[in-house]
Structure 1
Amino acid sequence: MHVEVDQPKCVASGQCVMLAPGVFDQDDDGIVELLDADPAPEHHDDVRESAAVCPAAAIRLTEK
């Protein structure tokens, strides 16, 4: 799995950070920061859920 984020689309809801804190973080303004663009398999389900619940659709996944 490869993860990309579109920071300009982010609305700072923080759902991704709550679901996958090892993969996502937020800057001082609450905008998503990607910590791991190629997360380990044990994080895949949480990352998929993060992408699904992102209100701005700012997370893109590519399944390898």
Structure 2
Amino acid sequence: MRIRIDKDRCVGAGMCALTAPSVFTQDDDGFSELIEGRDDGAGDPLVREAARACPVRAITVADA
């Protein structure tokens, strides 16, 4: 699984970090970013739910 965050689209709502905190965090400006080394989602079942929770659809998840 590959996870991509569109930094131009992200508004910093934080829903991803709330939904899948082992994969997503927020940077110093409040925008979403992946926790280092978690760009593959490492099988976290909440990654797809976090992408769906994003109000601006800034997160895409694709099968590898």
Under a length normalisation based on structure 2, what TM-score does the superposition of the two structures give?
Answer: 0.87
Query: Which segments of 5 or more consecutive residues in structure 1 lack a partner in the other structure?
Result: none
Per-residue deviation, residues 23-59 of structure 1 (Å, max 9, x unmatched):
1110121101112111222x1x211001111011000
Alignment partner of 1:37 out of 25, 36, 39: 39
**Structure with greater helix percent:** 1
Report the alpha carbon displacement of residue 63 of structure 1 after superposing the two structures with TM.
1.4
Under a length normalisation based on structure 1, what TM-score does the superposition of the two structures give?
Answer: 0.87
Percent identity between matched residues is 44
For 2:25, the equivalent position in structure 1 comes to: 25
Query: Aligned residue pairs: how many?
Result: 62
